[in-house]
Chain A
Amino acid sequence: MEVKLLTEFYHLEEFRSLEGYKKNGGYLELNKALKMQPQQIIDEVKASGLRGRGGAGFPTGMKWGFLPKNGEPRYLLCNADEGEPGTFKDRMMMERAPHQLIEGMIISAFAIGSKKSYIYVRGEYDFPIECLRVAVKEAYAAGYLGKNILNSGFDHDLDVYRGAGAYICGEETGMISSLEGLKGQPKLKPPFPAVQGYLRKPTIVNNVETLAAVKYIIRDGAAAYKKYGTEKSTGTKLFSLSGNVKKPGNYEVPLGYSLMNLITQEGGGIKAGRRLKAVIPGGSSAPVLTADEVAKATLDYECLSAMGTMLGSGAVIVIDDSQCMVDVLGVLTHFYHHESCGQCTPCREGTGWLNKIVHSILEGRGRLQDIDLLLKVADNMKGRTICALSDAAALPVLSFVQKFRDEFEFYVREGRSKVKGTTYAEMHH
């Protein structure tokens, strides 16, 4: 049951261009917004219940409300670093609807009183960046950016900044550090960016999808937005579906949608001859769900949180019964170890040890006590670091070992995979 709120015109090639965008409602909401009071827009966004669509799900209107009311210069940063494994929804928007993001940003900038914004895009996204740069040029030429936008008296400049390959730059303060010309290492919070962010000025960091959604809240009003979703998870969300599923891709559905339906209806289900084994519902950092748990899950913040996992970025990764969970975990531990920025000892050392221990099990050198050692190390990585990468690395380890312990024990005892029957060397060399 897809709902095409943001994605209504994504099938049109022309929607990427300014002309095609305008033909399909483009920049009408900017016009409308500029005639409102900035506080009205903030209130509408608050009332809509919109929550950050990048991963944390923090209420957007509330975040905007943390800005100082003294009129001092503030920045709007769009987080287009999209690095959470399994996530590819923002890429689609930047490629097919760059003006949608730009319009959402200008409206949001007007609401918070920002005269300068950046879209920080991960460096690998060469084509999306090109699409954005073209669109920004078009927007300037048409007077949607620059001085006195649509005769409103509001000035705004927007620039696109290319990252260079670092998952940690998706963390809002890591991104800020990177944009400032430093290593992309996160900073301690508080102070939060709304108080002290980019160049120590008040800064709002929002995800691509969050900013685009603002346009539709202005267009239809908060009440209409709340008709989608659940009481605490309002609106629609783009879910990136991938892994062992027949029809991977991005799907826009109302929050609260059945996870199983996303996989079997939109996603076409599991491939012939295989069965669903596990699902990571919100990007690699989200604790894994067993097939039984998947049957009970709805795609909203509350349900998944209550089940001990999270909605996260909305990246739904499907794992079928041909997969060895020890092997899959090894892919994740490698990732987090690679991406740790190194500042905090629990993360720098912990990700290294988790990866070493899992791979030692995979290579047939595991000891029975290594399984509990994984749990102990992971436990010591939670809640003790400058940013949440450490927690993100720990949660998959905890959930995989807790829910698929039999596979880890078999591997340690037999030196090979319970599911595949083979050793790691046989699997991968």
Chain B
Amino acid sequence: MFQLSPEGIKEIKNELGRYEARESAIIPSLYIAQKENKGWISPEVITALSELMEIPASKINEVFKFYTMFNQKPVGKHHVQVCTNISCALEGGRELARHICRELKTKKDEVTADGRFSISNVECLGSCGTAPMMQVNDRYYENLTPESAMNILRGMK
């Protein structure tokens, strides 16, 4: 059963009072809850948020599903998002994503057996000058080669 931590509850209550409209706290609260649920948001999480925030679950759900940074299925401990939009594609971003999948013996959008990694192709991350690149959880890794990307990932526990 999913339960928010006391700190999480406190943070969410804070967000509820922070903006002009209470609903504006939905996005910040989804981030808080996602962090506490191993990087993804299940229906249980939505229920917990709805009860705490006193906002209908359907409202929270439609916001949740609209945005790409909220994960609707489990992700790896290190969620690897490789940009494959135009500037990165011109500089090998798609090949990089495939290389990572091959090296980690996994497929796009699946979690590795040991739970450490999931790989996704994503749209432009605003790092076009340092292509190709990837975002792992919240952090950018830029100017990558297939080798340097694997070195970075292999160093992640």
Contact = CB atoms under 8 A, between A and B. Distances in A.
Interface of A: 82-88, 90-91, 122-127, 159, 161-167, 178-184, 198-199, 240-244, 248-250, 280, 284, 315, 317-319, 323, 328, 331-332, 335, 338-339, 341, 428-429
Contacts of B116: none
A165 B126 contact: no
B103 to A, nearest CB: 16
B135 A243 contact: no
A182 B28 contact: no
5 contacts: A86-B87, A159-B18, A165-B69, A184-B67, A248-B129
Interface in B138-156: 138-140
A248 B69 contact: no
Contact of A164 (B19, B67, B87, B125): B67
Given A164-B68, A181-B63, A243-B91, A83 B124 contact: yes
Given A162-B27, A164-B69, A124 B125 contact: yes
B86 A317 contact: yes
A398 B131 CA distance: 27
Contacts of A84: 124
B127 A88 contact: yes
Contacts of A125: 126
B132 to A, nearest CB: 11
Contacts of A338: 123
A85 B87 contact: yes
B24 interface: yes
B52 interface: no
B88 to A, nearest CB: 9
Interface of B: 18-28, 30-31, 62-63, 66-70, 84-87, 89-91, 94, 98, 123-131, 135, 138-140
Nearest to B85: A85
Given A85-B87, A165-B69, 10 more contacts: A83-B124, A91-B127, A123-B69, A165-B67, A178-B27, A182-B23, A183-B66, A199-B21, A244-B90, A244-B91
Contacts of B129: 88, 240-242, 248-250
B118 to A, nearest CB: 16
A420 to B, nearest CB: 13
Given A126-B139, A242-B87, A428-B98, A181 B24 contact: yes
A318 B131 CA distance: 13
A331 B31 contact: no
Contacts of A331: 84-86, 89
A34 B31 CA distance: 38
Contact of B86 (A85, A122, A183, A428): A85
A122 B131 CA distance: 19
A145 to B, nearest CB: 15
Given A244-B90, A317-B86, A328-B90, A91 B66 contact: no
Contacts of B28: 162
A263 to B, nearest CB: 14
Given A82-B126, A126-B139, A248-B128, A317 B69 contact: no
Contacts of A315: 128
Contact of A242 (B69, B131, B138): B131
Nearest to B18: A159
Closest 10 CB pairs of A and B: A181-B23, A165-B68, A164-B67, A242-B128, A165-B69, A242-B87, A85-B124, A126-B138, A248-B129, A183-B66
Contacts of A249: 129
Contacts of B66: 164, 166, 183-184, 341
Nearest to B28: A162
B75 to A, nearest CB: 14
A88 B126 contact: yes
A248 B89 contact: no
A338 B128 CA distance: 19
B61 to A, nearest CB: 10
Given A164-B67, A242-B129, A248-B129, A335 B139 contact: no
Nearest to A88: B126
A83 B124 CA distance: 7
Given A242-B87, A243-B91, A335 B68 contact: no
B124 A335 contact: yes
A243 B24 contact: no
Contact of B126 (A122, A180, A181, A335): A122
A178 B23 CA distance: 10
Contacts of B130: 248
B69 A124 contact: yes
Nearest to A248: B129
